[in-house]
Structure 1
């Protein structure tokens, strides 16, 4: 059954995260306008001093994101100075949940289908008091033939932040500086969490870089992934893809290169009423397929196999001369 604007629950507040891209901001704002949330929170990072003209671009974006023409309470958090992707976004989400108990979060390059708002609203209500669930995602990046069509969603250990929702109870656990990371690592609790050596190696690498500060200023999502991992929190993933990413290109901070999988994403209608799983368990088959499809290549998987069988000392020595396995 296809939903209409009148069928969308308008009670869930929306946080709209914007910065300096008027065109994509306008597209996403038009989608928000169709949903007509009763509460809209708009957070914007400040312009960078070394980018001529960015102050004016940021001003235009803020005008677009607050051009509300429906009955709605609008709140804003506009930074005067640039905080960077990591701090600006995480602080905005914390600000959001200082005012609401649950809500939907959209960045300026994440274009949602109208069904996305209804799906998130129903999931927020359904799992409001179930602390096993910490996140509701909007993406499904698997081909149709690899999906389980019996249910409207499945449970995952992975992050889905291109349009998502959560609760204050979950975000209150967030730690930007990854509290307990060293202690948990020393006890090797990480080792049993991941499904494969490839997955463990990938996340250990990005977590280490984030914790050490290498990716600190531009990331918040790795810290959020780690927070959920630390608290055994699951993500709800829809059986249909409800958000597409418009942000690939030279102006993006992270998604600067084209990706055939991401570029082929289409908005899909969700069938209502939702078909709920009878059990709350991670679909490890789906998680494995998603990780393999998005985060690995045949060559990267080959490198990981080599790293497993070659003594670590040899790799450390060879790394000085060959940048092949890292």
Structure 2
């Protein structure tokens, strides 16, 4: 496997990635892996100090086969940073493993990701590999190490060039899609937040690469491989240095699993698809949040909600 390892790509902004790096270095394959780090520029003077501190730390990283740091002079934002960065690396290597700066990985994360990339490469129905695995209640009596579902994850993932290069980032068929209730219902098999996020994206209310990634997966009727037990912890909910995360939600907190994965040609299981959908469906509060973001008042409501939580 060491001769065909996928490069690791990390995207960072204001948050130090020392925990991400330390967890990667606990992987035996780290020393044989090429690492790319894309450091986004500051939005304003308030962010500049954090960005400078991050970039000083990046210069101290060692322990990988090679390390390349790409510093942006301007703030590109997470979506453009990931689209441009992944494209640059995947065009060179044909595959890629992607992390953001708030993720901690298991000691066998690289073994799992590279193994899955090799095992499923020729199966064109597999769109991506997820490192994160949500705590689905229906998996309690599930015997396999992995399962398939219709939605990708942005919390530690991998894919191949031929999948990535098919993506229509402009969603040219949006006007047709938004009028088709049957297609919207099918898209929402991954969770009823999907259409709402895509709608906000097309209205210019959010800037998400991930929802466009998920929509293209849906169009190609493809699946993502998930581990039954997570190889990822997202540690970025509470420090307020992330672009999109804010506030802790116990629903998404996982424990790292370090056991070796056994891959197989698993079939689609309706009960897991339904369980996965239910797990990702929106709560009433989140539905209200999407409504406010689509219309007006979201920022005010968010500040008021935080105020109430702190009382």
Output the TM-score relative to the length of structure 1: 0.78
Cα 1:102/1:251, change in 2 over 3 Å: same
Report the secondary structure of 1:27's partner residue. Answer: helix
Q: CA deviation at 1:17?
A: 0.9
Q: C-alpha separation between the residues in 2 aligned to 1:232 and 1:261?
A: 27
Query: Could you say which residue in structure 1 is the equivalent of 2:281?
Result: 295
Q: Is the 8 A contact 2:149 2:276 kept in 1?
A: no
Cα 1:195/1:94, change in 2 over 3 Å: closer
User: CA-to-partner distance for each residue in 1:106-164, whole Å, 9 max, x for gaps?
Assistant: 11101110222111111100111221111100122125663453211011101212111
1:108 is the counterpart of 2:101: yes
Q: CA deviation at 1:91?
A: 1.6
Please tell me whether Structure 1 or Structure 2 has the larger radius of gyration of its CA atoms.
Answer: 1
Question: Which of 135, 139, 143 is the equivalent residue of 2:132?
Answer: 139
Q: CA deviation at 1:252?
A: 2.4
Q: CA deviation at 1:69?
A: 2.8
Runs of 5+ unmatched residues, structure 1: 1-6, 304-318, 321-326
Q: Is the 8 A contact 2:177 2:184 kept in 1?
A: no
Q: C-alpha separation between the residues in 1 aligned to 2:64 and 2:81?
A: 28
Query: Could you say which residue in structure 1 is the equivalent of 2:222?
Result: 233
User: CA-to-partner distance for each residue in 1:250-305, whole Å, 9 max, x for gaps?
Assistant: 22222202101223x11112234x1524x442x332233233234333x57999xx
Q: C-alpha separation between the residues in 1 aligned to 2:174 and 2:151?
A: 18
Q: Is the 8 A contact 1:139 1:163 kept in 2?
A: yes
1:151 is the counterpart of 2:144: yes
Query: Could you say which residue in structure 2 is the equivalent of 1:262?
Result: 252
Query: Could you say which residue in structure 2 is the equivalent of 1:285?
Result: 271
Cα 1:262/1:301, change in 2 over 3 Å: closer
Q: C-alpha separation between the residues in 2 aligned to 1:269 and 1:191?
A: 37
1:16 is the counterpart of 2:16: no
Report the secondary structure of 1:229's partner residue. Answer: helix
Query: Could you say which residue in structure 2 is the equivalent of 1:160?
Result: 153
Cα 1:169/1:115, change in 2 over 3 Å: same
Two-structure CA RMSD over aligned residues (Å): 2.9
Q: Is the 8 A contact 2:95 2:159 kept in 1?
A: yes
Cα 1:267/1:213, change in 2 over 3 Å: same
Q: C-alpha separation between the residues in 2 aligned to 1:71 and 1:271?
A: 22
59-68 or 110-119, larger mean C-alpha shift: 59-68
Output the TM-score relative to the length of structure 2: 0.82
Q: C-alpha separation between the residues in 2 aligned to 1:213 and 1:233?
A: 26
Report the secondary structure of 2:98's partner residue. Answer: strand
Cα 1:103/1:199, change in 2 over 3 Å: closer
Q: Is the 8 A contact 2:146 2:228 kept in 1?
A: yes
1:62 is the counterpart of 2:47: no
Query: Could you say which residue in structure 1 is the equivalent of 2:291?
Result: none
Q: CA deviation at 1:222?
A: 0.5
Q: C-alpha separation between the residues in 1 aligned to 2:42 and 2:285?
A: 37
User: CA-to-partner distance for each residue in 1:39-79, whole Å, 9 max, x for gaps?
Assistant: 11111111112x42x32321332343353433522223211
Question: Which of 191, 202, 207 is the equivalent residue of 2:198?
Answer: 207
Runs of 5+ unmatched residues, structure 2: 289-294, 297-311
